[in-house]
Structure 1
Amino acid sequence: MKKVGVIFGGYSVEHEVSVITGMQVMENIDKSKYEVVPIYITKSGKWLTGSSLMEFKNYKDNNFKDVKQIMLSQSLNDHNIYLHPEGSGLFGKKILDKLDIVFPALHGTNGEDGTIQGLFELMNIPYVGGGVLASSVGMDKILMKDVYKSYSLPIVDYMWFYRSNWSKDREDVINKIEEKLGYPVFVKPANLGSSVGINKAKDRDGLISAIEIAVHYDRKIIVEKAVESPREINCAVLGYDNEVITSLCEEPMGWTEILSFEDKYIKGNNKGVKSSGETRRIPADIDETLRIKIEDLAIKAFTSIDCKGTARIDFLLDKDNNVYINEINTLPGSIGFYLWEGKGISIGKLIDKMIDIAIETHKEKNKNMYSYEANLFNRTQYGVKTRKV
């Protein structure tokens, strides 16, 4: 039985969302195939493990009785990750547990952005979800749009700037935005999710206010031309390389200009359609031609950044049903399980498939050669400063 370390929480404004996703993964994973090891990263960045971390009520009460602060080490022999008590020393470390595979359920900064994926790449351990490149590009809205533009995928007009540009000459930034995009626009931190720090600006005063909020969350700010009276349609993709499938499409309901944090995680907590006050419609009320187009674009958005596992791609439709890719979420909240149920893939099966993909892509990675015998040491005279290697 493989041990799966489910990592959640994190040093991020999306901390609470990540805890919910982590709980859902741990509750629904196939216990006959996998043993779960919870790893909770606190808001201050401490790594903890312990059985009480598997009970959601403990997070409400902040009541963790058996947790231990841990650090990780790599085994060079079997490529496992070992959990040790924090401060146990470099030599003779006590081993609390070992992991065969890691399931990051981290949202946003320091988890969904390629940082923790890089750690697992260095440790050469299988991990679920997008790799370093896909995670970092998917997280950075500017780089993401640059990539999609290079693939001729439909996106709204945009421009971006650094926080330092705003501090030095805000008038210049405003003038460039008004000249290139006009109004209305959306102002967003480039590296953040869950609608945090995003605001719509309809005039200069609104633009200044929106930028002042956004610069508190990131050093890079993106400004996008607003789609008027939009509909949002979302579609998930599952797989890797060219072996991918799409989920049902959904349409979030009951929002106006911005799908807020509350819309996503509080109002929309119950899946499906209600008779009144519905939160999301699955499948979305779109015709067959439009559905096929969105599914095709979702696959291209997924594969163009070399993503793996599952991701949700969010689209905007204007009044003429023109389609624009808004963003890709390389780790959707609740892993987007509700999008797959209508295709016969339960949350348990979805988790299983994501783990299978992680194992297969790890095997693929280890087919690469990482050693090249060039005899460079014997051919290089050490200590000669002008010597070129």
Structure 2
Amino acid sequence: MAERIKINVGVIFGGRSVEHEVSIISGQQAMAALDQEKYHAVPIYIAKDGQWYSGEALADVASFREMKKLLAAAIPVELSVNFGQKELVERSGSRLKKPWRQRIDVALPVGHGTSVEDGCLQGLLEMAGIPYAGPGVLSSAVGMDKIMMKAVLRENNLPVVDYLAYSSWQWHEDGERLVAEIKEKLGLPLVVKPANLGSSIGISRVADEQALAEAIELAASFSDRLIVEKAVQPLREINCAVLGAPGQTVASVCEEPMAAADILSFADKYLNAGPAKGMSGSKRRILDADDALALRLQDLAQQAFAALDCRGVCRVDFLINEASGDIFVNELNTIPGSLAFYLFEPAGLAFDALVERLIHIALERQRQQERLITVYASNILAQGSFKGKK
């Protein structure tokens, strides 16, 4: 009996992002979830300096404790950007040695944060003609920028908290005016965030003017775009993930993470959970499936998913005012930590089935893209002189 040909899945993780280590955990989880009978997992690690590596040594999370030793054992590679080549090629300084090559049939990006979740990596994969899981370039870029995301959500009549947006240069040039404007328009307390980070990095809750200035300074150290939101209190945070493609989505169960402070911190999400579990190990409570609030949030999550034209799996985070019952869409995570598998498991969708569904969505999207007209076969430049014409 002929051996079954496996699909080469390039699992891309790491990246030049402050969420680098979180991405390593997600990458290891995704590789472990791939059905080895159907798929060949190809680890693709982007180091903190932006260099790309592959090789079996990268498939062991314990090896990342000794980074220098790991990278010496890994294969330095580049992704061919020649459309349709779909290949990793070893970066070799020797002309005598034949470079290592590995075909990539489909990519599974599990990078979190800047350069890997914000459309940059997705654009590279588009240029290379490699089908990939998750949202496209525009959806990824909008989903990563909290300012643009809230504008799109508001335009689609989805509820968001009152907010003000600034560039870091505005803060450095006229900080006193900004503080006064923020206090006048939003009042206190507030939540200050970098516009393009996740995992609660650089986020502060503030209750006075001095803390506000310090929080803006912190956020400006991570991003050149800042967002200041009116704090919801008393606050309840609930998350719901969505899986699918436009017109074909399913919502997960709803979870209520248990925070040690007023807002969920990086430690609440990852450090207190244990390195093997990532976000899946954080303390949380699952809402009953027939709970009226859960049903409402599942509907809103799918509306937000559609508003950003997402694909794959996204986690939608909600803020709820416990006193008034008002619901606000806080943000969409277009590549959620641990791919949010822990939100689908309670409803019977195992991690391996979730990953397989992501691959199928990626391949179907590629087939749809191939039916579109992207270039003309004719060459209008061969028809004559165009000198002086526009």
- TM tier relative to shorter chain: over 0.9
CA distance in 2, matches of 1:110, 1:246: 27
Give secondary structure in 1 for the equivalent of 2:73.
Answer: coil
Give the aligned residue type for 1:153: L
Partner of 1:231: 236
Deviation of 1:61 after TM superposition, in Å, equals 2.6
Counterpart pick for 1:307 among 307, 310, 316: 310
Partner of 2:21: 16
Matched-pair identity in %: 42
Partner of 2:352: 348
Give secondary structure in 1 for the equivalent of 2:122.
Answer: helix
1:279 paired to 2:290: no
1:363 paired to 2:367: yes
CA distance in 2, matches of 1:344, 1:271: 20
Give the aligned residue type for 1:10: G
Partner of 2:300: 297
Partner of 1:28: 33
- Whether the 8 Å CA contact 1:4–1:35 is kept in 2: the answer is yes
- Whether the 8 Å CA contact 1:75–1:82 is kept in 2: the answer is no
1:169 paired to 2:174: yes
Indicate how the Cα distance of structure 1 residues 93 and 273 shifts in structure 2: closer, same or farther if over 3 A, else same: closer
Deviation of 1:80 after TM superposition, in Å, equals 3.9
Give secondary structure in 2 for the equivalent of 1:4.
Answer: strand
Partner of 2:211: 206
Partner of 2:248: 243
Deviation of 1:287 after TM superposition, in Å, equals 6.5
1:67 paired to 2:74: yes
CA offsets, 1:87-135, max 9 Å, x none?
Answer: 4599x97342111111111000010101000001111111111110111
- Whether the 8 Å CA contact 2:278–2:338 is kept in 1: the answer is no
CA distance in 2, matches of 1:272, 1:208: 30
- Whether the 8 Å CA contact 1:251–1:285 is kept in 2: the answer is no
CA offsets, 1:36-66, max 9 Å, x none?
Answer: 1111111111111111111111111333253
Indicate how the Cα distance of structure 1 residues 89 and 356 shifts in structure 2: closer, same or farther if over 3 A, else same: farther
1:267 paired to 2:272: yes
Indicate how the Cα distance of structure 1 residues 272 and 54 shifts in structure 2: closer, same or farther if over 3 A, else same: closer
CA offsets, 1:225-245, max 9 Å, x none?
Answer: 000121111000000011000
How many residue pairs get aligned? The number is 380
CA distance in 1, matches of 2:289, 2:204: 28
Please identify, of 200-209 and 135-144, the stretch whose mean Cα deviation from structure 2 is larger.
200-209
Counterpart pick for 2:338 among 329, 334, 337: 334
Give the aligned residue type for 1:344: G
Deviation of 1:148 after TM superposition, in Å, equals 0.4
Partner of 2:3: none
Give the aligned residue type for 1:306: D
Partner of 2:141: 136
Deviation of 1:223 after TM superposition, in Å, equals 0.3
Give the aligned residue type for 1:66: A
- Whether the 8 Å CA contact 1:271–1:280 is kept in 2: the answer is no
Counterpart pick for 1:218 among 218, 223, 248: 223
CA RMSD across the alignment: 2.3
- Whether the 8 Å CA contact 1:109–1:191 is kept in 2: the answer is yes
Partner of 1:255: 260
1:323 paired to 2:330: no
- Whether the 8 Å CA contact 2:270–2:278 is kept in 1: the answer is no
- Whether the 8 Å CA contact 2:269–2:279 is kept in 1: the answer is no
